[in-house]
Amino acid sequence: MTTDSNKRGSKGDILLEMRNIEIDGFSDERWHDIVKGVDLTLRRGEVMGLIGESGAGKSTLGKAAMGYAQPGCRIKSGTIMFDGMDLMAATENEKRKLWGSRIAYVAQSAAASFNPAHRLVDQTVEATVDHGISDEAAAKKDAVDLYTALQLPDPENIGTRYPHQVSGGQLQRIMTAMAMSPRPDLIIFDEPTTALDVTTQVEVLVAMRDIVEQFNTAAIYITHDLAVVAQMADFIKVLRYGDEVEEAETRLMLSEPKEDYTKTLWSVRSLEKPEDKSDDIALSINNVDAAYGKSVKVLHDVTINIPRGRTVSVVGESGSGKSTTARVITGLLPPMTGNIVFNGEELPAALADRTKDQLRRIQMIYQMADTAMNPKQTVGEIIGRPLEFYHDMRGKQRDDRILELLEMIELDSSFIDRLPSELSGGQKQRICIARALAAEPEIIICDEVTSALDQIVQEGILKLLLRLQKEYGITYLFITHDIAVVTAISDEIVVMFQGKVVEQGLKSEILNPPFPEYTQLLLSSVPEMDPDWLTNLVDQRP
């Protein structure tokens, strides 16, 4: 695959040229390749999308564009020319002059990147002033213009606040303003919207796209979400295992991807389960109010019915009470009022009052498989414990059952004595599923189980869950903010907003008009694989 830059609508002269970049990472007592000889050319004013799954080397390559290798990595070979300057040969000092003035970096987690002790505007202009690009007063005045351009509320005064006083989406935009403040030639966006809700993501995307266009800044946009990058980039480069898979103009890439791997990235969103109606209610939550502590009420009169053998998806942005609902069902957070009826019987509100059998019937799978498994226990111990605990299986009987369970989740006996750190992300989540299955539950609560996973792995997990439902008639309560996952797996959907249920109904009813206002906003905010989607959306919205 060669990069033919001439074919692209050339916006300006070449700003960044990377040739045959090889980057090594040191882990586990040895060096191994992270990036294996990738070329990259970027012209002034161009936006390049870098996509790939985690471990594809996209972030590492993005940072290498600044001539920077993070601790534990080294740029082994290749050339990096930034505007006529050889970054491979540049000293740390020379590079430091470049960073924060001509090249800027926007990180994934804005919340972790701001110093909580300083006002936002001081942090916005810090690099600009330090590099002597302009004096403080001028830079601060310019920051207000940038805040305005990024459509932040009250641009005159928002800078005087501290990081914790603004929302996540606002913080991400302020970080973009910070990157923009010295008017850099190149900005590297490293998954800037991954941690945001879809509704917030739209605002941030619009703001970023406009400001990059306005100042004719070149940008590298790193993400694993193809639909997002389709809105932002002029052309897209797909990476896998540190190698370039293909590069093409955005529209071309979306309409006719050449490589098989690229095609699979598209296909995940096409998984769809036919919905199935059922009136046999397995579990219902009736008029539940719940609060953390005595003051903060997070659930207001929540009523949800979960039919047996079906999947009910709970969607909503963060803070809408999705996870709290799960905590109420599991008994971790006893409700203030209302009750939970399971198989026609009222469940005791608190965990401690439930019988072992009641606990067995409701299992839970977590978002972060990493923290959901004890790092000191082997796969066999993790899956084996529920067998011992609920079914009193010992010795050979237990071991046989562990093997059966591993088979059910499409893994083999070689995994039995592995530790969680020796598994990939998808494998970890599969083990968590096996642990839940071991209890032989009736209901499994899945709390954002796929959101930490790559597209292809996500697809595998969803298929597995669907198959298990078909074979064992398990009921799922699926908590997610990803509408693609919702379409893929659910029969019924519950939309939540600010601790209240907006609506509940069959998938076809919820996803088709007429919509209540919030559902409309939520659904329209989900990025589509259409490069014009964002433009159209902005035109439609008032």
Using H for helix, E for strand and C for coil, what is the string for 310-325? CEEEEECCCCCCHHHH
The answer to whether residues 254 and 267 touch, using CB atoms and an 8 Å cutoff, is no
Considering the complex, what minimum distance in angstroms separates the CB of residue 422 from another protein?
A: 5
According to CB under 8 A, which one of 386, 499, 527, 531 is a site residue for another protein?
386
- Residue 466, classified by CB atoms within 10 Å of its CB into exposed (0-12), middle (13-18) or buried (19+), is middle
Interaction of residue 421 with another protein, rule CB under 8 A: yes
Site for another protein in 251-290 (CB under 8 A): 260-261, 263-264, 267-268, 270-271
According to CB under 8 A, which one of 459, 482, 491, 492 is a site residue for another protein?
459
According to CB under 8 A, which one of 409, 443, 483, 526 is a site residue for another protein?
409
Considering the complex, what minimum distance in angstroms separates the CB of residue 310 from another protein?
A: 22
Amino acid at 540: Q
According to CB under 8 A, which one of 356, 396, 471, 517 is a site residue for another protein?
356
* Pairing outcome for strands 311-315 and 475-480: parallel
Interaction of residue 516 with another protein, rule CB under 8 A: no
Interaction of residue 366 with another protein, rule CB under 8 A: yes
User: Tokens 């006893």 label which residue?
Assistant: 334
Using H for helix, E for strand and C for coil, what is the string for 61-119? HHHHCCCCCCCCEEEEEEEEEECCEECCCCCHHHHHHHECCCEEEECCCHHHHCCCCCC
Measure the CA–CA gap between 464 and 226, rounded to whole angstroms: 23
The answer to whether residues 222 and 94 touch, using CB atoms and an 8 Å cutoff, is no
The answer to whether residues 8 and 180 touch, using CB atoms and an 8 Å cutoff, is no
Across the strands, what pairs with 82?
16, 85
Binding flags for another protein, 438-457, as an x/- string (CB under 8 A):
-x----------------xx
Binding residue count for another protein, defined by CB under 8 A: 61
Q: Which is nearer to another protein, 136 or 417 (CB)?
A: 417
Measure the CA–CA gap between 169 and 63, rounded to whole angstroms: 23
Interaction of residue 371 with another protein, rule CB under 8 A: yes
Q: Which stretch binds another protein (CB under 8 A): 193-201, 311-319, 425-433, 504-512?
A: 425-433
Q: Which stretch binds another protein (CB under 8 A): 138-146, 304-312, 420-428, 504-512?
A: 420-428
Considering the complex, what minimum distance in angstroms separates the CB of residue 408 from another protein?
A: 11
The token pair that represents 205 in the structure block: 């995307």
According to CB under 8 A, which one of 8, 22, 54, 533 is a site residue for another protein?
54
Interaction of residue 222 with another protein, rule CB under 8 A: no
According to CB under 8 A, which one of 8, 19, 37, 55 is a site residue for another protein?
55
Interaction of residue 407 with another protein, rule CB under 8 A: no
Amino acid at 454: D
User: Tokens 């990259």 label which residue?
Assistant: 40
CB atoms within 10 A of CB 52: 25
Which residues in this chain contact another protein in the complex, by CB under 8 A?
26-29, 54-55, 71-72, 260-261, 263-264, 267-268, 270-271, 330-332, 351, 354, 356, 359-360, 363-364, 366, 368, 371-377, 385-386, 389-390, 409-412, 414-415, 418, 421-427, 430, 435, 439, 456-457, 459-460, 464
